[in-house]
Amino acid sequence: MENIRITFIGCGNMGRSLIGGLINDGYPSDLISGADIDDEQRAQTHNQYGIEVLDNSAKAIHGARVIVLAVKPQAMNETILPLRGIFSNENPLLISIAAGIRLDDLARWAGEAVPIVRAMPNTPALIGVGATALCANTKVNDTQHDIAESIMRSTGIVTWVDDEMLIDVVTALSGSGPAYYFYIMEIMEKAGVELGLTKEQARLLTLQTALGAAKMAMESEHDPEDLRKQVTSPGGTTEQALKIMQEGGLEKLFSKAIRAAFQRSQELAKILGGDKQA
């Protein structure tokens, strides 16, 4: 990615994770700036990364080729509308990481001619192992496409979707997904303690097992179903545990849960896309 000025509007956890990812990748810190209305967020971002962070978004974005919108979804409308004239004159690439705000609504607020990429990252981006899906409007050119991918790739893996509706699927799968795994870990820890392990032992064994399983799945040429079968000996302990899960309808329950998250994502998009934020 060529060295261009990038400004972050919103310097909370996710905004800072992207700033840190870029700098860790070797991007010049003097080409990154930020804006945030919160004194504490501005100070923390400046102290952590040494970049300029202003309290005025209009001043911060002048001359920026890319603007990352990292504010809360409920604040997106009121953040974008005052900047519409600058977007129209300078035509930067906008990258929104706000959940539930669709491309059409972003364009309606920012200007129909503005190139916009919508990103759906997840919280492991905070430690550099995130998963992000991207979707672009028709105003985004090939160079801007590559820039958006490079920025988001600084905190993990990236995939593009052509149909924006799939962002709602991504939200339900990987956006909310860390919470599903945390819940499973929570359940496993409790079961270990109930059977006699200390809380510390149950936690350590659970976390390392989760890490090991994920690493094996990432590095293996086999899919999860094959890996599961490989570690399930006939008549053994694993088979017995899996039998209980299957009899309890775990697969159907997970499918139902992810579908519910998908439907809620669609509902929130309609709510958040109004001119007056809910």
**CATH code of the domain containing 181:** 1.10.3730.10
User: How far apart, in whole angstroms, are the C-alpha atoms of residue 145 and residue 138?
Assistant: 11
Residue 10 contacts residue 70 (beta carbons within 8 Å) = yes
Do 187 and 98 belong to one domain?
no
Residue 73 contacts residue 85 (beta carbons within 8 Å) = no
Do 58 and 150 belong to one domain?
yes
Under the banding of pLDDT at 50, 70 and 90, the label for residue 2 is: confident
Q: Would you say residue 119 has pLDDT above 60?
A: yes
**CATH code of the domain containing 60:** 3.40.50.720
71 inside domain: yes
Q: How many independent structural domains does the chain possess?
A: 2
Do 183 and 250 belong to one domain?
yes
220 inside domain: yes
Provide the mean pLDDT of the chain: 95
Q: Which domain holds residue 231?
A: 177-266
168-206: per-residue pLDDT in tens?
A: 999 999 999 999 999 999 999 999 999 999 999 999 999
Do 42 and 163 belong to one domain?
yes
Its pTM stands at 0.91
Q: Which of 146, 167, 188 is the last residue of a domain?
A: 167
146 inside domain: yes
Which DSSP letter does residue 31 get? G
276 inside domain: no
Q: Would you say residue 227 has pLDDT above 80?
A: yes
Q: Find the farthest-apart pair of alpha carbons in the chain and give their distance in angstroms, rounded.
A: 69
Do 199 and 156 belong to one domain?
no
272 inside domain: no
Q: Phi and psi at residue 8, in whole multiples of 5°?
A: -105, 120
Residue 182: strand, helix, or coil: helix
Q: Which of 143, 167, 191 is the last residue of a domain?
A: 167
Do 191 and 129 belong to one domain?
no
Do 188 and 148 belong to one domain?
no
User: How far apart, in whole angstroms, are the C-alpha atoms of residue 253 and residue 27?
Assistant: 44
Q: Would you say residue 123 has pLDDT above 90?
A: yes
